[in-house]
Chain A
Amino acid sequence: MAEITLTKAVFGMGNQNQAHVHRHNILDMSTYNIDTVKMEQHQGGVTPNTLNAIAAQSGGLTTKPLGYVNIEDGWNIRRGLGMLNFLITNNSVETAELAVLGYMTGGMASHEGIEPQTMFVPVRCWDTRTTQKFDNMGLPMASTVITGSHQFLMGDPTGRDDLKSVRPIDMAQEVLGYMASSADGMDDGFDGILAADLKQNVVMSKTDNLNPTHHARELLKIAAATTTEGQYTGIANAIGDAMVGPGIGEAPLTSNDFFKTMMARGGSFSMSNFMGWSMAEIHSVFSNLPDVMNITLLDPNATVGVDNTLSSHEYGGANSYETIASELAYLTVHMLIRCGLTHLVFSATNNPHHFSGLEGSETGVEVVTGTFGSVLDHDDHAINRVERFKDMLRGLFFAKYSTQFAHTSTMLSVKVSCHLFGETDVSVFFNGEENNERKYVNATYNVNRTSTNITSSQAGLNEAQNFMQNITDYFTK
């Protein structure tokens, strides 16, 4: 039995923000790309190369926001934030660390501590695993890797909106569920799958899902499977088989040690209408909480508050500025975790005027980085992580906007200051028009409510479901 110990509990403050909006991942393939997939399909199967290239060009966010995101206490307040670090010991050679980030609601705090009824709402987590190894000289060394990172998707805290999760696996399950119920003659009875209903569940969504390219690729893989394998086994079976692939799989909530322990010790196993855990509850399970707690920053006077409502653009429009800024805000968080960084400041552009044309850059994208931090303490290789981040940015983000032809590219320049736990500022301008720059601020510590894997409308869900059906039809007929 693994042992879980609370090692650190650090608290801080967020800033005032604009009201956030719901936008979810979509896959919108151009006719040209669809023809390419179909052609390769006829030749025996789609190559991973094509799939990746097309996914990078086709994934994105809905342009039109589906509605405002409801959150406890509204958006325009400074919010208490917290990070809990746990040490999980399985055996002597391997130790795992779990970091859970969350925000606070419904209580007061002073230098003496946090009121017991204050709720801690978990937002995201990541695990690192340290293994004792021997290097090639035979000397002992520790190797640390990040083994997973997730968001906890939650329902509307006000209970007004019916939120559903739209991770790739949910969409595949929706289609399967719909196919099953219509085969049973009860099309009207199908009201979506329970696992995706955020009223009933807290859903773990891996950070990859914040990457529209990943979302697009997983869906494309399923669609492609229905045409090859589906021809022999039936489409429903092909979808079922494709759902066990490694890319699309999701971890259940009980695989998270923090949730598992809290649920087991607290005796509550239903996650329906989950509102977080009170400090008193956490204290009752992890009795050393007061000893490891650091609340010096949980004080509005400790840091200067920034009122982002005054300095950033409002959300709610349906223009490229807002869509690209939102996409980048979610994507950078995914990339930070992938690379093992906690924060990074960078600016990037694919506009050749900014780096004197092709001579200035081999890849057509220039990235300049500023300050950064690693998720590991005393990390000697943090600079390598930043290089990896740059590569990912080119492949996952700019690939879509810079095509091989200059005249069809979207010339955009961005300035980003992203934080795994804080606000991510994105400033965007197009075609070198620096005076038309727009700044959007995304509260990354509220991703449990704002995630791009949550949809607030039935239309969004239907569209997603129809899409799967249409693309299957298109490929098979």
Chain B
Amino acid sequence: MNELNKLYKAMLMSWGSVIKDDARIVVSINGDEIPVRIDDMDLHLPLSEVLDGNCIDKVFFHPACENVTSKETEVFKVIRRLSTLKLLTTFSEYVPIMFGVASKNTKQAWRQNILDMLEPLKSAKRVYRDELKKLFQQMQVEVNDNGVDNRFVHIKVTKGGGRGKTGEKVYYKAKPVFPFYNEIVKRLARSEGQSDNQTVELNGFSVSIGALKLAAHLFKEILPIVETPDDLEVESTSQVGARLCAYLGCYYELAEQLNRIQNTFRADFDKAGVYPIDTNWYEHLDELPEIYRQVPTLDYNSHNTQDDEVAVSTTQRNNQNLFSVSGSGNRNQNTNTNQNQGNNNQNNNQGGNRQPNVVGGNNDGSFDTTVPPMEYGDNYLKTELDYMNGHVNHYAVNNNGNQVIYQCTRFGNLLRRIESNMGGMNNMMGMGGMGGMNMMGGQQLANGMILLPNGMTVMPQQLQQMMRPTTAASAPGGNVDYSATTF
């Protein structure tokens, strides 16, 4: 294993991942091993032996080769999830231990600051503690489906620019944001003066002010940086893996801060089996410019395969698919979500009604409902707005009594004409099937190709094209084989 893979392995292991014998990366949560997948391919460590073998259905973990122009790559999103999940679980494990410490007798050696830390915990009422437990369970790794931001921590990485403290060019900057803690503080500030047993709403979760105060206290004591997150801005001047270095620099500081409090109460943490987050690999990050070429540039690592904003909302929910990233392949699905985000505002104005709306009520003017010119024989019926896809559907009926939809963009440009011909369907099938081929005297071969009498083999689609003049001559008007199969 080369130095780069050793670094990757240490990094991944410290986030609770397991590297299987075949270099597959799985995440171990409470004993369950969850595979990490991108576009339905398993994530692997880029060991030379694995790269030498068949790599067609594999994705590799090689974040150091990320191009500086790229948006966050799919592999980087995995890093984000794994590392913030580690911070979140570690923080959650601390809470019962801290209460345990506080409930014991005061030690002589403790200085005033430790006493200050433990005092509110010691005096905390049982009911607040129970509430606190539930409150902390609300914390998540990512913004959830409904757009509620209960993230424990988010490490914000921004493009740098300018010169850093050392005078070198800064490529990326990273600093932490604590959305959940910020929400708690906001709630507390708004309900100042109210009694502790008053309940307030925190992102849709009812909680008493007493529990909130306790939560804020714990945050401040365990992770003091929550009060001044700007102090933790990490700048990356490395040309190699600039985003990665900035992000991990920030992660390292957070992990170290979490580790610090363990040393104060070492014995208690030992008893609970909670040990510091392993950050020993961090010092090797400096070697990245020398070692990153040990593995060649790989896709899903060098450039992003989908749009940045969309990614956050499409995946996640439960642990099973938390680690499955969809890079592409379903551009439609991804951009649909994008559309939905765009349409949220409109829907809010309309009382959150997400169903397609009949025009005449609530078109707010952002949809052009002009009826497009229709084909001869199509009689216009009605117009509906499709907010989900940002389309305008114009319904009509054609001569045969079938429904026709003219689908337009919200700017009024015709996308497609959809005709649902229930009646004529079976007959059409007859034409496309064997009936049509016999007319040409062709034989269908085992591989689906058709052998014509002149010795030519063609695809069925080609045959249909070739046949078009013949059929048109025999019965003008389109539905040719009406006669052949119906009568």
A and B, one complex? yes
Are A184's CB and B411's CB within 8 A?
A: yes
The answer, yes or no, to whether B60 is at the interface (CB within 8 Å) is yes
11 CB-based A-B contacts, threshold 8 Å = A26-B302, A60-B297, A63-B298, A116-B455, A273-B461, A280-B456, A320-B296, A463-B299, A466-B303, A470-B303, A477-B159
Find out whether the CB atom of A185 lies under 8 angstroms from the CB atom of B239: no
The answer for the CA separation of A191 and B335 in the assembled complex, in Å, is 12
Q: Which residues of A contact B71 (CB under 8 A)?
A: 466, 470
Q: Tell me which of A35, A463, A477 contacts B303 (CB under 8 A).
A: A463
Give the CA-CA distance A185 to B408 in the complex, in Å: 10
Closest 9 CB pairs of A and B: A117-B455, A31-B239, A318-B55, A474-B69, A188-B335, A316-B54, A462-B328, A459-B328, A63-B296
Determine if A251 is an interface residue (Cβ-Cβ < 8 Å).
Answer: no
Q: How many angstroms between the C-alpha atoms of A189 and B386 in the bound complex? A: 14
Query: Is A169 interfacial (CB-CB < 8 Å)?
Result: no
With A65-B55, A273-B462, A316-B56 already in contact, the answer to whether A470 and B304 are too (CB < 8 A) is: yes
| B41-83 contact mask (Cβ, 8 Å, vs A): 1 or 0 | 0000010100111111010100000011111000000000000
**Taking the nearest CB of chain A, how far is it from the CB of B460, in angstroms?**
10
Mask, A181-197, CB within 8 Å of B = 1, is 00011111101000000
For residue B415, CB closer than 8 A to chain A, the reply is yes
* A188 pairs with B336, CB closer than 8 A: yes
Report the Cα distance A310→B389, complex, angstroms. 54
Residues of A within 8 A of B459 (CB): 273, 275
Q: Decide yes or no whether B390 CB sits under 8 A from chain A.
A: yes
Measured in the bound complex, the distance between the Cα atoms of B302 and A29 in whole Å is: 10
CA gap between A191 and B239 in the complex, in Å: 35
Asked if A110 is at the interface (CB within 8 A of a chain B CB), the reply is no
Bound form: Cα–Cα A317–B307 in Å: 28
B327 and A459 form a contact (CB under 8 A): yes
Mark B411-434 against chain A: 1 for CB-CB distance below 8 A, else 0. Answer: 101010000000000000000000
CB neighbours of A280 from chain B (8 A): 454-456
Is there a chain B Cβ closer than 8 Å to A272's Cβ? yes
Does A471 have its Cβ within 8 Å of any Cβ on chain B?
Answer: yes
Closest to B310 in A: A187
Complex alpha-carbon distance, A477 and B298, angstroms: 26
> In the complex, A316 Cα to B56 Cα: how many Å?
6
Q: Tell me if B56 and A68 are in contact (CB < 8 A).
A: yes
A91 at the interface (CB under 8 A from B): no
Q: Does B240 make an interface contact (CB < 8 A)?
A: yes
**Complex partner residue of B389 from A64, A115, A188, A323, CB under 8 angstroms:** A188
Contact of A106 among B54, B68, B457 (CB under 8 A): B457
Cβ A189 vs Cβ B409 within 8 A: yes
| Structural contact, A28 and B329, CB atoms closer than 8 A | no
For A318, the chain B residues whose CB sits under 8 A away are 46, 51, 55, 58, 60, 296, 298
B332 interface residue, CB < 8 Å from A?
yes
Contact between A117 and B456, CB atoms less than 8 A apart: yes
**A67 CA / B299 CA spacing, docked (Å):** 13
- Given the interface contacts A30-B239, A116-B455, A463-B305, does A188 sit within 8 Å of B331 by beta carbon? yes
Partner of B415, one of A189, A458, A461, A477: A189
A308 contact set on B, CB distance < 8 A = none
* Among B240, B298, B328, B411: residue with most chain A CB under 10 A: B328
- Residues of chain A contacted by B54 (CB below 8 angstroms): 314, 316-317
Cβ–Cβ contact A466 & B296, under 8 A: no
Instruction: Give residues 266-280 of A contacting B (CB, 8 Å).
Output: 268, 270, 272-273, 275, 278, 280
Chain B proximity of A247: nearest CB distance (Å): 22
Cβ-based interface call for B39 (8 A): yes
| Given known A-B contacts A64-B60, A466-B306, A319 and B51 have beta carbons under 8 A apart | yes
Given the known inter-chain contacts A280-B454, A319-B296, A463-B304, please indicate yes or no for A185 contacting B410, CB distance below 8 A: yes
A466 contacts across to B, CB distance below 8 A: 70-71, 303-307
Q: What 1/0 mask marks residues of chain A from 300 to 338 whose CB sits below 8 Å from any chain B CB?
A: 000000000000001011111001000000000000000
B residues contacting the other copy or chain, number (CB 8 A): 60
**Known: A280-B456, A317-B53, A458-B328. Is A272-B461 also a contact (CB below 8 A)?**
yes
The answer to whether B331 touches A62 (Cβ under 8 A) is no
Q: Which residues of B contact A31 (CB under 8 A)?
A: 68, 171, 239-240, 242
Flag whether A166 is at the interface (Cβ < 8 A).
no
With the chains together, A230 CA to B413 CA distance in Å? 27
Q: How large is the interface on A (under 10, 10 to 19, 20 to 34, 35 or more residues)?
A: 35 or more
Name the A residues within 8 Å of B171 (CB-CB). 31
- Would A29 and B67 count as touching, CB distance under 8 A? yes
- The listed residue (B240, B305, B329, B339) touching A187 by CB distance below 8 A is B339
Within 8 A of A (CB), among B324-378: 327-329, 331-332, 335-336, 338-339
* Complex-state Cα separation, A116 to B456, whole angstroms: 8
Cα–Cα distance between A32 and B240 once the two chains are bound (Å): 10
A323: which B residues are within 8 A, CB to CB?
296
Q: Is B228 an interface residue (CB 8 A)?
A: no
Is B298 a contact of A117 with CB atoms below 8 Å? no
Are the CB atoms of A34 and B296 closer together than 8 Å?
no
Q: B246 → chain A, closest Cβ, in Å?
A: 13
Residues of A within 8 A of B51 (CB): 317-319
Determine the distance from Cα of A272 to Cα of B297 in the docked complex, in whole angstroms. 35
**Is the pair A319, B456 in contact by a Cβ cutoff of 8 Å?**
no
Q: Does A473 contact B (CB under 8 A)?
A: yes
What CA separation (Å) do A297 and B48 show in the bound complex?
Answer: 43
Q: Which of A31, A320, A477 has the most CB of B within 10 A?
A: A31
Which A residues are CB-close (under 8 A) to B415?
A: 186, 189
Closest Cβ neighbor of A461 among chain B residues: B328
Q: Is the CB of B56 within 8 A of A458?
A: no
Q: Quick check: A34 and B456 within 8 Å, CB to CB? A: no
Say which residue of A62, A64, A117, A462 sits within 8 Å of B327 (CB atoms): A462
Q: Mark B376-397, 1 if CB is under 8 A from A, else 0.
A: 0000000000000111000000
| B52 touches which of A119, A319, A460, A467 (Cβ 8 Å) | A319
Q: How far is the CB of B376 from chain A (nearest CB, A)?
A: 26
B335 A187 Cβ-Cβ under 8 A: yes
Q: Which residues of A contact B410 (CB under 8 A)?
A: 185
Identify which of A26, A319, A458 contacts B331 (C-beta below 8 A): A458
Question: Of all chain A residues, which has the CB nearest B67?
Answer: A28
Cross-chain contact B299 with A460 (CB below 8 angstroms): yes
CB distance from A31 to the nearest CB of B (A): 4
Q: Which residue of A lies closest to B329 (CB)?
A: A458
Residues of B within 8 A of A30 (CB): 239
Question: For the complex, is B122 an interface residue (Cβ under 8 Å from A)?
Answer: no
Q: Decide yes or no: A34 and B69 within 8 Å by CB, A64-B60, A458-B328 being known contacts.
A: yes
Min CB gap A175→B, angstroms = 13
Q: Closest CB-CB distance, A179 to chain B, in whole Å?
A: 13
Cross-chain contact B390 with A34 (CB below 8 angstroms): no
Kindly state the separation between the CA atoms of A473 and B300 in the bound complex, as whole angstroms: 19
Name the residue on B nearest A31 (C-beta). Answer: B239
Instruction: Give Cα distance in the complex from A323 to B465, angstroms.
Output: 41
Closest A residue to B296 by beta carbon equals A63
CB distance from A97 to the nearest CB of B (A): 29
B 188-225 contacts with A by CB, 8 A: none
How far is it, in angstroms, between the C-alpha of A463 and the C-alpha of B39 when the chains are bound? 13
Set of chain A residues within 8 Å of B307, measured between Cβ atoms: 466
Residue-wise, chain B 264-305 has the 8 Å CB interface mask toward A (1 for contact) of: 000000000000000000000000000000001111101111
Contacts known (A31-B242, A272-B461, A317-B51); A65 close to B56, Cβ less than 8 A:
yes
CB–CB B304/A317 < 8 A: no
Q: Is B169 part of the contact surface with A, judged by Cβ < 8 Å?
A: yes
